[in-house]
Amino acid sequence: MYQNKKEGLGKGLLLGFLIGGIAGAITGLLLAPKTGRELRSDIQRKSDEIKDGAKKIFTDTSSKIRGFGKTAYERGEELYDTAGEIISDTMEQTSKFSDAVKAGYGAYKEERDRA
């Protein structure tokens, strides 16, 4: 649970920095004394930088998610295999116990019939 809160905090901080950076860049561009052509050029350059940054974040996040998915799948397989082994061992022990009870009951009947 702590891990989920920690990840949520990281996502919130990242989103906050991204939104703050965008707002700061736009404010800086609009308040700077430049011609219309320079302003449009600056806006285009900044929007390209933001778009490239967003693509990088998306790529990094997708890679991490794929890694988490692979790890979860592998752990699920391990758990499935372990559960199968436990069930198999339990069934074997149950069978042995059942055989022992039957043998004990058979011995009891023989002794009872002899008496």
| Segment 39-48, tens digit of pLDDT | 778 778 888 8
Domain extent listing, the chain: 58-114
- Amino acid letter at 55? K
Helix (H, G, I), strand (E, B) or coil at 106: helix
pLDDT at 93: 92
The rounded distance, in Å, linking the Cα atoms of 90 and 93 is: 5
Banded pLDDT at 5 (limits 50, 70, 90): low
CA distances in angstroms from 68 to 14, 73, 115, listed in the order given: 20, 8, 69
What value does the mean pLDDT take over residues 76-92?
Answer: 92
Q: Pick the closest to residue 18 from 45, 50, 46, 52 (CA basis).
A: 50
Banded pLDDT at 6 (limits 50, 70, 90): low
Judged against a pLDDT cut of 60, whether residue 4 lies above it is answered with: no
